[in-house]
Structure 1
Amino acid sequence: MLKLKNVDWKKGGIFAAGVLFGTAGIKALSSDDAKKLYTNCTAAVLRAKTCVMKTAATIQENAEDIYAEAQQINEEREAAAEAAMVADAEAAEVAAETAEETEA
């Protein structure tokens, strides 16, 4: 037979309170008011997602524009460098021809 002196009533009370709280919690979480709260929270998250996606699309478009402009700048610089090299080469040829003519 179970002796009442060895029973820990505190632990039993805590267990019973936990069961009661869990049962009440399940009822509260499945109520119509809770469902309305869940629906409104979900709607807010979806609105936030839409806002974030629009912002991300804008940032991506701006990044693409920046990248295209940077490529254009580099192409223009390369073209200018090539033109400068051609001009230097032509000037060197002219200088060489002038030097040959003066020697002759």
Structure 2
Amino acid sequence: MTNIFKNFDAKKTGIFAGGVLFGTAGIKILASDDAKKFYANCTAAVLRAKSCVMKVVTSVQENAEDIYAEAQQINEEREAKAAVVEDEEVTETAEETEETEEEDFTEA
């Protein structure tokens, strides 16, 4: 019997018992009706926040689509202008070449 009491540590046993009591009380508190109402309110708040965030995301996505479409239109207009300028340059170069050839032919 004396061996059992030598290994007995009242402090560790008290801490263990306190932990068991706290755990049991904690489970009861977490499972109470008040706690469930609190969880429901927290979940509702999270769902409201999610809804708000999704509205913002949708708005940003729509704006991004508009910006993308406008950017495509700008690039198409620039390409069209560049093609017109290039055609004018080719036409001017061809006319200058013809004039030069006519002058060379006339001089000869």
User: What 5-or-longer segments of structure 2 have no aligned partner?
Assistant: none
Q: Which residue of 1 aligns with 2:50?
A: 49
Q: Which residue of 2 aligns with 1:22?
A: 23
Q: Which residue of 1 aligns with 2:85?
A: 84
1:103 matched to 2:104? yes
Cα deviation, 1:42-91, whole Å, max 9, x if unaligned, reads 00000000000010000101111111111111111111111111000000
Shift of 1:6: 2.4
Aligned equivalents of 2:6 and 2:44: distance in 1?
56
Moved over 4 A (4+): none
Q: Which residue of 2 aligns with 1:64?
A: 65
**For 2:45, what is the secondary structure of its paired residue?**
helix
User: What 5-or-longer segments of structure 1 have no aligned partner?
Assistant: none
**For 1:3, what is the secondary structure of its paired residue?**
helix
Amino acid at match of 1:85: E
The normalised TM-score by structure 2 is 0.91
Amino acid at match of 1:3: I
Shift of 1:39: 0.5
Question: What percent of counterpart residues are identical?
Answer: 63
RMSD over aligned Cα atoms: 1.0
* Equivalent pairs, count: 104
